[in-house]
Amino acid sequence: MRPSLLRHKLKLELQTPASVWFRSEFKLQLASGGVLVLIAWSANAALAADRSGPDGIFTNTIGMVMVQMPGSYWVGKFEATQKEYEAVTGKNPSKFKAERNPVERVNWHDAMAFCRELTRREKDAGTLPAGFVYSLPTEKQWDQFVGDANLDDAVTGRFADGKPLGPLEVGSRKPNQFGLHDVRGNAWEWCLDAFMPNSHWKVLRGGAWSVSGPDNLAVSARLNVEPETAYEFYGFRCVLTPER
């Protein structure tokens, strides 16, 4: 008889407020007729929030929806909104103001400061698992979660008679296969990485409402920008990831 591997998951909530764990049980059928049982425990950050839902999706204390990705991290379903940014920082630097629009006119340092403060708040609220932080995505993560996002579902070229119209409300267009909206278009998204090794300049990915040229709309397009720069087409998306 060939060994067969069966996996069963049972949720067990521990008493510590920031911990919800999964018990993974592996049963190996032995040729002798016996069964070898292997048990592993792993923390699930998505279910650490009180408002947890199915499929590894949860909403944190400021209303930001996080989607679980392969590789033990979570990514924002939407670009960070003006409402979320103001809830954490007390200010809204955006030119095109609307609560559900992506926050814009934020530089790299602004975005990272938001992530650090959000991490602190979620930790104080008991909804952040040990060793996890909110951050900007690495380019490797961005290249993963852009998925099958295409330009047909992207907010780009938003001008009327030469007048800029600005971004649309997040989630106005169809999501990609991971359920993420506006990974391409709406606002350029800051990444954690430098543009090249030992460079001070940072990377923006994804294109924006202001872009219509094919080069900047290519999924591979990378903007090389000083981290102090902020325009009305620069925004960001958070990830919840193991602390680096």
The residue ranges of every structural domain in the chain are 1-43, 51-242
What gap in Å lies between CA 119 and CA 237, rounded to an integer?
A: 14
Q: What are phi and psi of 24, to 5 degrees?
A: -105, 120
Q: Read off the tokens for 57.
A: 């999706």
With cut-offs at 50, 70 and 90, classify the pLDDT of residue 37: low
What gap in Å lies between CA 213 and CA 232, rounded to an integer? 18
Confidence of residue 214 (pLDDT cuts 50, 70, 90): confident
pLDDT at 71: 81
Helix residue spans in 17-153 (DSSP H): 82-89, 108-124, 139-145
Task: Please state the rounded mean pLDDT for residues 157-161.
Answer: 96
Rounded to 10°, the helix 82-89/108-124 angle is 70
| pLDDT higher at 93 or 45 | 93
Q: Is the pLDDT of residue 16 over 50?
A: no
Residue 17's contacts (CB-CB under 8 Å, 6 or more residues apart) are 126
Mean pLDDT over each residue of the chain, to the nearest integer:
85
pLDDT for residue 31: 67
Closest CA to 237 of 117, 75, 127: 75
Cα angle 46, 70, 104; round to 5: 70
DSSP 8-state secondary structure symbol assigned to residue 84: H
Is the pLDDT confidence value at 32 over 60? yes
Tens digit of pLDDT for each residue in 97-150?
999 999 999 999 999 999 999 999 999 999 998 899 999 999 999 999 999 999
CA distances from 201 to 105, 156, 190 (A): 17, 25, 11
Lowest mean pLDDT among 10-19, 27-36, 124-133, 142-151: 10-19
d(C-alpha 224, C-alpha 227), whole Å:
9
Architecture per CATH, domain 51-242, reads as: Alpha-Beta Complex (3.90)
184 contact partners, CB below 8 Å, separation of at least 6: 146, 149, 150, 151, 153, 154, 206, 207, 217, 219
